[in-house]
Structure 1
Amino acid sequence: MINTMSKGVKILIVEDDENLRFLVVHRLKAEGYEVSEVGDGEAAERMILAEKPDIVLLDWMLPGKQGAEVCEEVRKQGFDNLIIMMTAKAQDVDKIDAYNFGVSDYVTKPFNMDVLVAMLDSKVKFILNNDRSEVHRFGNMEHHPNIHTLFRDGKKIELTILENRILLYFLRNPNKVINRDELMLVVWGYNSDVNTRTLDMHIVRLRKKIELNPDNPQLLQTVRGVGYRFNPS
Protein backbone atom coordinates (compact mmCIF):
# COMPACT_ATOMS: atom_id res chain seq x y z
CA MET A 1 0.00 0.00 0.00
CA ILE A 2 1.38 3.41 -0.96
CA ASN A 3 2.06 5.77 1.91
CA THR A 4 -0.14 8.85 1.32
CA MET A 5 2.21 10.99 3.40
CA SER A 6 5.06 10.47 0.91
CA LYS A 7 3.09 11.95 -2.01
CA GLY A 8 4.94 14.86 -3.58
CA VAL A 9 8.01 14.46 -1.35
CA LYS A 10 11.20 14.50 -3.46
CA ILE A 11 14.17 12.38 -2.41
CA LEU A 12 17.56 12.33 -4.13
CA ILE A 13 19.69 9.19 -3.62
CA VAL A 14 23.43 9.80 -3.98
CA GLU A 15 25.19 6.41 -3.94
CA ASP A 16 27.93 4.97 -6.18
CA ASP A 17 27.12 1.31 -5.40
CA GLU A 18 24.65 0.57 -8.20
CA ASN A 19 23.06 -2.45 -6.52
CA LEU A 20 22.37 -0.61 -3.28
CA ARG A 21 21.14 2.44 -5.16
CA PHE A 22 18.74 0.30 -7.19
CA LEU A 23 17.33 -1.33 -4.04
CA VAL A 24 16.81 1.98 -2.22
CA VAL A 25 15.29 3.71 -5.26
CA HIS A 26 12.97 0.77 -5.94
CA ARG A 27 11.74 0.62 -2.33
CA LEU A 28 11.22 4.37 -1.95
CA LYS A 29 9.31 4.57 -5.24
CA ALA A 30 7.12 1.72 -3.98
CA GLU A 31 6.48 3.83 -0.86
CA GLY A 32 5.21 6.66 -3.08
CA TYR A 33 8.20 9.01 -2.94
CA GLU A 34 9.38 10.97 -5.99
CA VAL A 35 12.91 9.61 -6.34
CA SER A 36 15.89 10.70 -8.42
CA GLU A 37 19.37 9.20 -8.28
CA VAL A 38 22.99 9.99 -9.02
CA GLY A 39 26.29 8.16 -8.50
CA ASP A 40 28.99 10.79 -7.96
CA GLY A 41 29.59 13.88 -5.85
CA GLU A 42 29.90 16.58 -8.49
CA ALA A 43 26.71 15.59 -10.30
CA ALA A 44 24.99 15.34 -6.90
CA GLU A 45 25.92 18.90 -6.02
CA ARG A 46 24.48 20.20 -9.29
CA MET A 47 21.27 18.20 -8.88
CA ILE A 48 20.72 19.27 -5.26
CA LEU A 49 21.03 22.95 -6.17
CA ALA A 50 18.93 22.64 -9.35
CA GLU A 51 16.14 20.35 -8.08
CA LYS A 52 16.06 21.28 -4.36
CA PRO A 53 14.87 17.84 -3.14
CA ASP A 54 13.11 17.70 0.24
CA ILE A 55 15.50 14.99 1.43
CA VAL A 56 18.97 13.98 0.18
CA LEU A 57 20.28 10.51 1.07
CA LEU A 58 23.99 11.10 0.62
CA ASP A 59 26.75 8.50 0.75
CA TRP A 60 29.82 9.45 2.81
CA MET A 61 32.31 7.85 0.38
CA LEU A 62 31.83 8.98 -3.23
CA PRO A 63 33.99 9.19 -6.35
CA GLY A 64 34.99 12.69 -7.43
CA LYS A 65 33.76 14.64 -4.46
CA GLN A 66 33.19 13.19 -0.98
CA GLY A 67 29.71 13.34 0.53
CA ALA A 68 30.93 15.66 3.25
CA GLU A 69 32.26 18.17 0.70
CA VAL A 70 29.02 18.02 -1.26
CA CYS A 71 27.06 18.70 1.91
CA GLU A 72 29.29 21.60 2.96
CA GLU A 73 29.12 23.19 -0.49
CA VAL A 74 25.32 23.03 -0.90
CA ARG A 75 24.87 24.42 2.61
CA LYS A 76 27.07 27.38 1.66
CA GLN A 77 24.83 27.90 -1.37
CA GLY A 78 21.79 28.12 0.93
CA PHE A 79 20.29 24.61 0.61
CA ASP A 80 18.65 23.95 4.00
CA ASN A 81 16.50 20.87 3.43
CA LEU A 82 17.28 17.51 5.03
CA ILE A 83 20.59 15.82 4.20
CA ILE A 84 20.91 12.32 5.64
CA MET A 85 24.40 10.86 5.43
CA MET A 86 24.73 7.14 4.67
CA THR A 87 27.86 5.92 6.39
CA ALA A 88 29.63 2.57 6.82
CA LYS A 89 29.07 1.08 10.25
CA ALA A 90 32.79 1.04 11.02
CA GLN A 91 32.98 4.80 10.82
CA ASP A 92 32.46 6.65 14.02
CA VAL A 93 29.48 9.01 13.82
CA ASP A 94 31.41 11.53 15.90
CA LYS A 95 33.87 11.69 13.00
CA ILE A 96 31.05 13.17 10.91
CA ASP A 97 30.24 15.50 13.81
CA ALA A 98 33.76 16.80 14.14
CA TYR A 99 33.70 18.43 10.73
CA ASN A 100 30.31 20.09 11.15
CA PHE A 101 29.39 19.84 7.49
CA GLY A 102 25.74 20.57 8.01
CA VAL A 103 24.50 16.98 7.87
CA SER A 104 20.95 16.75 9.27
CA ASP A 105 21.14 13.12 10.33
CA TYR A 106 22.75 9.82 9.43
CA VAL A 107 21.98 6.17 8.81
CA THR A 108 24.60 3.41 9.08
CA LYS A 109 25.18 0.81 6.36
CA PRO A 110 24.21 -1.92 5.96
CA PHE A 111 20.73 -0.70 6.88
CA ASN A 112 17.43 -2.48 7.08
CA MET A 113 15.07 -1.02 4.45
CA ASP A 114 12.14 -0.99 6.89
CA VAL A 115 14.22 1.04 9.37
CA LEU A 116 15.21 3.48 6.61
CA VAL A 117 11.57 3.89 5.51
CA ALA A 118 10.41 4.40 9.11
CA MET A 119 13.10 7.05 9.62
CA LEU A 120 12.10 8.88 6.43
CA ASP A 121 8.39 8.67 7.30
CA SER A 122 9.01 10.28 10.69
CA LYS A 123 11.02 13.07 9.03
CA VAL A 124 8.35 13.63 6.39
CA LYS A 125 5.64 13.95 9.02
CA PHE A 126 7.48 16.96 10.40
CA ILE A 127 8.33 18.37 6.97
CA LEU A 128 4.58 18.39 6.17
CA ASN A 129 3.42 19.66 9.56
CA ASN A 130 6.02 22.32 9.96
CA ASP A 131 5.91 24.15 6.66
CA ARG A 132 8.75 22.02 5.28
CA SER A 133 11.57 23.47 7.37
CA GLU A 134 11.20 22.59 11.05
CA VAL A 135 12.18 25.28 13.59
CA HIS A 136 11.70 25.11 17.36
CA ARG A 137 11.78 28.18 19.62
CA PHE A 138 12.36 28.03 23.37
CA GLY A 139 13.58 30.71 25.75
CA ASN A 140 15.96 32.96 23.82
CA MET A 141 16.88 30.12 21.46
CA GLU A 142 15.91 28.77 18.06
CA HIS A 143 16.72 25.24 16.93
CA HIS A 144 17.02 24.49 13.19
CA PRO A 145 17.41 20.69 13.13
CA ASN A 146 17.90 20.36 9.34
CA ILE A 147 21.18 22.28 9.56
CA HIS A 148 21.82 21.10 13.14
CA THR A 149 22.24 24.65 14.37
CA LEU A 150 21.08 26.46 17.45
CA PHE A 151 20.74 30.24 17.62
CA ARG A 152 20.89 31.98 20.99
CA ASP A 153 19.93 35.65 20.71
CA GLY A 154 20.82 35.34 17.02
CA LYS A 155 24.29 33.90 17.74
CA LYS A 156 25.02 30.57 16.04
CA ILE A 157 25.89 27.50 18.14
CA GLU A 158 26.97 24.35 16.26
CA LEU A 159 25.50 21.02 17.37
CA THR A 160 26.93 17.60 16.61
CA ILE A 161 24.62 15.11 14.87
CA LEU A 162 24.01 13.27 18.12
CA GLU A 163 23.36 16.43 20.15
CA ASN A 164 20.98 17.50 17.40
CA ARG A 165 19.07 14.20 17.58
CA ILE A 166 18.84 14.37 21.38
CA LEU A 167 17.66 17.99 21.46
CA LEU A 168 15.16 17.44 18.65
CA TYR A 169 13.61 14.48 20.46
CA PHE A 170 13.21 16.53 23.63
CA LEU A 171 11.71 19.46 21.72
CA ARG A 172 9.18 17.15 20.06
CA ASN A 173 8.31 15.69 23.49
CA PRO A 174 8.24 18.68 25.86
CA ASN A 175 7.67 18.13 29.59
CA LYS A 176 7.58 14.36 29.12
CA VAL A 177 9.77 12.10 31.25
CA ILE A 178 11.90 10.13 28.78
CA ASN A 179 13.79 7.11 30.03
CA ARG A 180 17.36 6.46 29.02
CA ASP A 181 16.60 3.31 26.99
CA GLU A 182 14.02 5.13 24.86
CA LEU A 183 16.45 7.99 24.25
CA MET A 184 19.30 5.64 23.35
CA LEU A 185 17.09 3.85 20.83
CA VAL A 186 16.08 7.13 19.22
CA VAL A 187 19.62 8.48 19.09
CA TRP A 188 21.74 5.46 18.23
CA GLY A 189 19.19 3.09 16.69
CA TYR A 190 18.29 -0.54 17.08
CA ASN A 191 21.62 -2.28 16.65
CA SER A 192 23.59 -0.09 18.98
CA ASP A 193 25.81 -1.21 21.83
CA VAL A 194 26.27 2.19 23.50
CA ASN A 195 25.91 2.38 27.26
CA THR A 196 24.12 4.91 29.42
CA ARG A 197 27.42 6.57 30.34
CA THR A 198 27.88 7.58 26.70
CA LEU A 199 24.37 9.05 26.63
CA ASP A 200 24.98 10.97 29.86
CA MET A 201 28.20 12.37 28.41
CA HIS A 202 26.30 13.73 25.38
CA ILE A 203 23.67 15.23 27.70
CA VAL A 204 26.43 17.04 29.62
CA ARG A 205 27.84 18.42 26.35
CA LEU A 206 24.39 19.52 25.20
CA ARG A 207 23.68 21.27 28.52
CA LYS A 208 26.85 23.34 28.08
CA LYS A 209 25.33 24.69 24.87
CA ILE A 210 21.74 25.36 26.00
CA GLU A 211 21.81 26.03 29.75
CA LEU A 212 22.69 29.36 31.38
CA ASN A 213 24.17 27.34 34.24
CA PRO A 214 24.92 23.75 33.10
CA ASP A 215 25.55 22.67 36.73
CA ASN A 216 22.01 23.68 37.65
CA PRO A 217 20.02 22.82 34.50
CA GLN A 218 16.61 24.43 34.10
CA LEU A 219 15.75 23.17 30.60
CA LEU A 220 17.14 19.65 30.43
CA GLN A 221 16.53 18.11 33.85
CA THR A 222 17.55 14.75 35.22
CA VAL A 223 14.75 12.57 36.58
CA ARG A 224 16.63 10.44 39.07
CA GLY A 225 16.62 6.74 38.37
CA VAL A 226 14.58 7.14 35.17
CA GLY A 227 16.01 9.53 32.61
CA TYR A 228 15.39 13.12 31.62
CA ARG A 229 12.70 15.73 31.07
CA PHE A 230 12.86 18.86 28.91
CA ASN A 231 11.09 22.02 30.16
CA PRO A 232 11.08 24.48 27.26
CA SER A 233 9.17 27.27 29.01
Structure 2
Amino acid sequence: MHDASSTPPEQSIGTNDPAGELNDGIDYVPVRVQADANAARVVKVENPETLKQSKHSANSSTQKADEDSTGEEQLPDQRVAIAGKDVLQQAIVKLLGLARREVLIVLPSMHELFDDARIGQGLLDFIKPSPRREVLMLLNSLADQQATTHQLIKLAQRISSRIQLKQASSLLEPPVMESDYLVVIDRSHILRIDDIDKYSGWFDVNFASRAQKYAGSLLQQWPKAREITEFRQFSL
Protein backbone atom coordinates (compact mmCIF):
# COMPACT_ATOMS: atom_id res chain seq x y z
CA MET A 1 0.00 0.00 0.00
CA HIS A 2 1.20 3.47 -0.77
CA ASP A 3 2.82 5.21 2.18
CA ALA A 4 0.92 8.46 2.49
CA SER A 5 3.48 9.89 4.88
CA SER A 6 6.07 9.92 2.11
CA THR A 7 3.91 11.88 -0.31
CA PRO A 8 5.28 15.42 -0.79
CA PRO A 9 3.00 18.46 -0.43
CA GLU A 10 1.07 19.32 -3.56
CA GLN A 11 -0.25 22.49 -5.14
CA SER A 12 -3.81 23.38 -4.23
CA ILE A 13 -6.58 24.68 -6.45
CA GLY A 14 -8.93 26.94 -4.53
CA THR A 15 -12.54 27.88 -5.18
CA ASN A 16 -14.14 31.23 -5.73
CA ASP A 17 -17.42 31.63 -3.89
CA PRO A 18 -18.18 35.38 -3.95
CA ALA A 19 -21.81 34.91 -3.03
CA GLY A 20 -20.94 32.82 0.01
CA GLU A 21 -23.36 30.09 -1.03
CA LEU A 22 -22.12 27.13 0.97
CA ASN A 23 -24.82 24.89 -0.49
CA ASP A 24 -23.77 25.29 -4.12
CA GLY A 25 -24.00 22.24 -6.29
CA ILE A 26 -21.36 20.77 -8.55
CA ASP A 27 -21.13 23.81 -10.81
CA TYR A 28 -18.55 25.77 -8.83
CA VAL A 29 -15.06 25.60 -10.36
CA PRO A 30 -11.46 25.96 -9.13
CA VAL A 31 -9.98 29.32 -10.06
CA ARG A 32 -6.72 29.87 -8.24
CA VAL A 33 -3.63 28.03 -7.06
CA GLN A 34 -2.31 28.21 -3.53
CA ALA A 35 0.39 26.44 -1.55
CA ASP A 36 -0.47 23.66 0.87
CA ALA A 37 0.58 25.25 4.14
CA ASN A 38 0.23 22.38 6.59
CA ALA A 39 1.60 18.85 6.49
CA ALA A 40 -0.90 16.10 7.20
CA ARG A 41 -0.82 14.28 10.52
CA VAL A 42 -0.91 10.51 10.05
CA VAL A 43 -2.90 8.25 12.36
CA LYS A 44 -3.64 4.54 12.00
CA VAL A 45 -7.16 3.36 12.81
CA GLU A 46 -8.46 -0.19 12.97
CA ASN A 47 -11.21 0.43 15.54
CA PRO A 48 -14.46 2.13 14.45
CA GLU A 49 -14.68 4.02 17.76
CA THR A 50 -11.47 5.90 16.97
CA LEU A 51 -13.18 7.53 13.99
CA LYS A 52 -15.31 9.56 16.39
CA GLN A 53 -12.30 11.72 17.19
CA SER A 54 -11.57 12.22 13.49
CA LYS A 55 -15.16 13.25 12.86
CA HIS A 56 -15.02 15.70 15.77
CA SER A 57 -11.86 17.32 14.39
CA ALA A 58 -13.30 17.52 10.88
CA ASN A 59 -16.61 18.94 12.11
CA SER A 60 -14.80 21.56 14.17
CA SER A 61 -12.68 22.59 11.22
CA THR A 62 -15.64 22.68 8.83
CA GLN A 63 -17.63 24.79 11.27
CA LYS A 64 -14.72 27.17 11.68
CA ALA A 65 -14.39 27.53 7.91
CA ASP A 66 -18.13 28.26 7.61
CA GLU A 67 -18.24 30.77 10.45
CA ASP A 68 -14.87 32.47 10.15
CA SER A 69 -13.83 34.09 6.87
CA THR A 70 -11.16 36.33 8.42
CA GLY A 71 -8.27 34.02 7.52
CA GLU A 72 -7.54 32.89 11.07
CA GLU A 73 -5.57 29.69 11.51
CA GLN A 74 -7.63 26.52 11.09
CA LEU A 75 -7.08 23.04 12.47
CA PRO A 76 -4.26 21.08 10.79
CA ASP A 77 -4.85 18.47 8.16
CA GLN A 78 -5.30 14.93 9.39
CA ARG A 79 -4.57 11.72 7.49
CA VAL A 80 -5.92 8.53 9.00
CA ALA A 81 -4.94 5.06 7.80
CA ILE A 82 -7.96 2.81 8.23
CA ALA A 83 -8.61 -0.90 7.76
CA GLY A 84 -11.63 -3.18 7.99
CA LYS A 85 -14.92 -3.29 6.10
CA ASP A 86 -17.06 -1.80 8.85
CA VAL A 87 -14.49 0.90 9.61
CA LEU A 88 -14.42 1.95 5.95
CA GLN A 89 -18.21 2.01 5.76
CA GLN A 90 -18.42 4.12 8.91
CA ALA A 91 -15.79 6.47 7.47
CA ILE A 92 -17.87 6.92 4.31
CA VAL A 93 -20.98 7.68 6.37
CA LYS A 94 -19.07 10.20 8.48
CA LEU A 95 -17.66 11.90 5.38
CA LEU A 96 -21.14 12.19 3.90
CA GLY A 97 -22.20 13.90 7.12
CA LEU A 98 -19.56 16.58 6.48
CA ALA A 99 -20.73 17.32 2.92
CA ARG A 100 -22.21 20.74 2.18
CA ARG A 101 -21.53 21.23 -1.55
CA GLU A 102 -20.91 18.03 -3.48
CA VAL A 103 -20.17 14.34 -3.23
CA LEU A 104 -17.97 12.77 -5.90
CA ILE A 105 -17.46 9.00 -5.99
CA VAL A 106 -15.12 6.94 -8.17
CA LEU A 107 -15.70 3.18 -8.36
CA PRO A 108 -13.69 0.65 -10.39
CA SER A 109 -16.66 -1.70 -9.84
CA MET A 110 -19.92 -1.83 -7.92
CA HIS A 111 -18.25 -3.36 -4.90
CA GLU A 112 -20.24 -4.80 -2.00
CA LEU A 113 -18.51 -2.38 0.38
CA PHE A 114 -20.75 0.41 -0.94
CA ASP A 115 -23.86 -1.77 -0.95
CA ASP A 116 -24.80 -0.61 2.53
CA ALA A 117 -28.04 0.95 3.77
CA ARG A 118 -26.15 3.43 5.97
CA ILE A 119 -24.28 4.80 2.95
CA GLY A 120 -27.48 5.03 0.95
CA GLN A 121 -29.17 6.93 3.78
CA GLY A 122 -26.16 9.21 4.10
CA LEU A 123 -26.48 10.18 0.44
CA LEU A 124 -30.19 10.84 0.84
CA ASP A 125 -29.57 12.96 3.95
CA PHE A 126 -26.97 14.94 2.02
CA ILE A 127 -29.22 15.92 -0.90
CA LYS A 128 -32.36 16.68 1.14
CA PRO A 129 -31.48 20.16 2.50
CA SER A 130 -30.87 21.82 -0.89
CA PRO A 131 -31.90 21.12 -4.51
CA ARG A 132 -28.45 22.32 -5.56
CA ARG A 133 -26.72 19.39 -3.90
CA GLU A 134 -25.86 16.56 -6.24
CA VAL A 135 -23.93 13.31 -6.19
CA LEU A 136 -21.77 12.24 -9.12
CA MET A 137 -20.67 8.59 -9.24
CA LEU A 138 -18.29 7.45 -11.95
CA LEU A 139 -17.37 3.87 -12.76
CA ASN A 140 -13.68 4.10 -13.63
CA SER A 141 -13.90 1.01 -15.81
CA LEU A 142 -14.32 0.16 -19.47
CA ALA A 143 -16.06 -3.16 -18.81
CA ASP A 144 -19.81 -3.47 -19.36
CA GLN A 145 -21.74 -3.67 -16.11
CA GLN A 146 -24.72 -5.89 -15.39
CA ALA A 147 -27.94 -4.67 -13.80
CA THR A 148 -27.94 -5.41 -10.07
CA THR A 149 -29.74 -4.57 -6.87
CA HIS A 150 -26.75 -2.64 -5.54
CA GLN A 151 -27.65 0.18 -3.14
CA LEU A 152 -25.98 2.87 -5.26
CA ILE A 153 -27.63 1.70 -8.46
CA LYS A 154 -31.07 1.76 -6.84
CA LEU A 155 -30.47 5.31 -5.61
CA ALA A 156 -29.34 6.45 -9.06
CA GLN A 157 -32.49 4.93 -10.56
CA ARG A 158 -34.75 6.38 -7.90
CA ILE A 159 -33.35 9.94 -7.89
CA SER A 160 -31.52 10.17 -11.20
CA SER A 161 -31.59 13.98 -11.29
CA ARG A 162 -29.72 14.31 -7.99
CA ILE A 163 -27.70 11.09 -7.72
CA GLN A 164 -26.10 10.35 -11.07
CA LEU A 165 -24.14 7.29 -12.13
CA LYS A 166 -22.07 7.09 -15.32
CA GLN A 167 -19.29 4.98 -16.78
CA ALA A 168 -15.97 6.50 -17.84
CA SER A 169 -15.16 6.43 -21.55
CA SER A 170 -11.48 6.09 -20.67
CA LEU A 171 -9.60 5.47 -17.45
CA LEU A 172 -9.14 8.48 -15.20
CA GLU A 173 -5.76 10.15 -15.15
CA PRO A 174 -3.40 10.38 -12.13
CA PRO A 175 -3.57 10.92 -9.23
CA VAL A 176 -6.53 8.54 -9.61
CA MET A 177 -5.28 4.98 -10.05
CA GLU A 178 -7.24 2.28 -11.85
CA SER A 179 -7.88 0.39 -8.60
CA ASP A 180 -8.77 3.42 -6.45
CA TYR A 181 -12.16 3.68 -4.79
CA LEU A 182 -12.67 7.33 -3.90
CA VAL A 183 -15.17 9.47 -2.03
CA VAL A 184 -14.37 13.19 -2.33
CA ILE A 185 -16.36 15.62 -0.20
CA ASP A 186 -16.53 19.34 -1.06
CA ARG A 187 -13.06 19.04 -2.64
CA SER A 188 -11.65 19.03 0.88
CA HIS A 189 -12.10 15.59 2.48
CA ILE A 190 -11.22 12.23 0.94
CA LEU A 191 -11.66 8.54 1.54
CA ARG A 192 -9.30 6.63 -0.76
CA ILE A 193 -9.44 2.83 -0.69
CA ASP A 194 -6.28 1.64 -2.37
CA ASP A 195 -6.65 -2.07 -1.53
CA ILE A 196 -10.29 -3.11 -1.67
CA ASP A 197 -9.44 -6.80 -1.15
CA LYS A 198 -7.85 -6.02 2.22
CA TYR A 199 -10.34 -3.25 3.02
CA SER A 200 -7.60 -0.72 3.67
CA GLY A 201 -7.32 2.92 2.74
CA TRP A 202 -6.86 6.52 3.82
CA PHE A 203 -9.26 8.96 5.44
CA ASP A 204 -7.98 12.50 4.69
CA VAL A 205 -9.58 15.39 6.57
CA ASN A 206 -9.02 18.95 5.28
CA PHE A 207 -6.64 17.87 2.53
CA ALA A 208 -7.89 20.18 -0.21
CA SER A 209 -4.75 20.08 -2.34
CA ARG A 210 -5.16 16.37 -3.01
CA ALA A 211 -8.97 16.33 -2.97
CA GLN A 212 -9.19 18.98 -5.69
CA LYS A 213 -6.90 16.98 -7.95
CA TYR A 214 -9.04 13.87 -7.51
CA ALA A 215 -12.17 15.92 -8.15
CA GLY A 216 -10.62 17.52 -11.22
CA SER A 217 -9.87 14.13 -12.75
CA LEU A 218 -13.47 12.98 -12.30
CA LEU A 219 -15.07 16.23 -13.47
CA GLN A 220 -12.90 16.32 -16.57
CA GLN A 221 -14.13 12.86 -17.52
CA TRP A 222 -17.77 13.39 -16.55
CA PRO A 223 -19.04 15.14 -19.74
CA LYS A 224 -17.57 12.30 -21.83
CA ALA A 225 -18.88 9.50 -19.60
CA ARG A 226 -21.78 7.41 -20.83
CA GLU A 227 -25.13 6.59 -19.29
CA ILE A 228 -25.30 2.95 -18.20
CA THR A 229 -28.28 1.54 -20.04
CA GLU A 230 -27.78 -1.87 -18.44
CA PHE A 231 -28.66 -0.38 -15.05
CA ARG A 232 -31.81 1.26 -16.41
CA GLN A 233 -33.20 -2.15 -17.34
CA PHE A 234 -33.60 -2.97 -13.67
CA SER A 235 -36.99 -1.92 -12.27
CA LEU A 236 -37.51 -1.17 -8.62
Structure of greater relative contact order (alpha carbons < 8 Å, 6+ residues apart)? 2
Q: TM-score w.r.t. structure 1 length?
A: 0.29
- In our comparison, the structure showing a higher alpha carbon Rg is 1
Higher helix share: 1
Q: TM-score w.r.t. structure 2 length?
A: 0.29
